Structure 1
């Protein structure tokens, strides 16, 4: 139970940190190999690129969870609470719809990659595996968006969904587990 609670709270950060460490190590290895040993490592660019994509999608999920995605919060918070709720709700409906569409498209893309496997040029790994981040990323974004509303309704639907309360109190730290 403790592990699930930790994962629910820190999963995206852990994946992002791991991906950033992989990027840093790959770039450092390439710089070291080129300038110290005067050789070129063929795998570092591809490794760093894959890790970057994973960091971006997990970071996007983290932003959904923390409600850091792009929107004009000052304008929304300046609206009456009912109108602000409506604007955020409509934006979140559009975001959820986009995630569902991208899940469908990503699933179809992964199906093609599974049926017709191809290997990456440098690492020679099946492209299907690193590309799974598309489905994983959009699924996490959608799940975190739904989680925001579940918690908001559970806590009485006060204020704006997932936002700080008007009195400046931090949102409830307890999550679904």
Structure 2
């Protein structure tokens, strides 16, 4: 049970870090092979490209979970609270519909890849598997968005969804009080 809870909290970091390790190892191997042994490794570019795409999509899900994605929070927080919530709800609603749309399109795309198998040139793997990140990434983003609202609602629906409320107890306030 603890492992599942840990995975729920850290799956994106685990995938992103693993992908970054694959990228670093592939690039390092290519540099050593070219400059030390004067040969080219054909698999490194493909492996690092696949790892980069996986890192980007899981990183986007991580940003949804942590609410680090691009927003104009200064503008939203300068609005009256009800209006700020409304703007966030509308933006997140559009985002959720976009994720649903992309899940559907990705499902159809993966269906084509499943039906007409293609293999990658260097690694020789079925393209269905690396391309599955499309549906995985958008599903994770949608689930994290829903999770944000579930936590916000269970915490009393105060402030903006997914944003910490400013309490005035920040360490900066303590420092300023002593100046």
TM-score normalized by structure 2? 0.93
Q: Residues 38-59 of structure 1: CA distance to partner in whole angstroms, max 9, x if unpaired?
A: 0000000000000000000000
Task: Look up the match of 1:39.
Answer: 39
Q: How does 1:118-157 map to 2 (within 5 A)?
A: 118-157=118-157
Q: Which has the higher helix share?
A: 2
Q: Residues 153-177 of structure 1: CA distance to partner in whole angstroms, max 9, x if unpaired?
A: 011100000001131679xxxxxxx
Q: Residues 79-121 of structure 1: CA distance to partner in whole angstroms, max 9, x if unpaired?
A: 1111111000100000000000000000000000000000001
RMSD: 1.1
For residues 129 and 14 of structure 1, the distance between their equivalents in structure 2, rounded to whole angstroms, comes to 18
The answer as to 2:54 corresponding to 1:54 is yes
- Per chain length, whose mean CA-contact separation is higher, i.e. which structure has more relative contact order (CA < 8 Å, sep 6+)? 1
For residues 66 and 168 of structure 2, the distance between their equivalents in structure 1, rounded to whole angstroms, comes to 16
For residues 85 and 166 of structure 1, the distance between their equivalents in structure 2, rounded to whole angstroms, comes to 16
Task: Look up the match of 2:63.
Answer: 63
For residues 22 and 39 of structure 2, the distance between their equivalents in structure 1, rounded to whole angstroms, comes to 20
User: What 5-or-longer segments of structure 2 have no aligned partner?
Assistant: 171-179
For residues 4 and 126 of structure 1, the distance between their equivalents in structure 2, rounded to whole angstroms, comes to 29
For residues 75 and 143 of structure 2, the distance between their equivalents in structure 1, rounded to whole angstroms, comes to 26
For residues 168 and 102 of structure 2, the distance between their equivalents in structure 1, rounded to whole angstroms, comes to 35
Aligned residues: 170
Task: Look up the match of 2:117.
Answer: 117
TM-score normalized by structure 1? 0.94
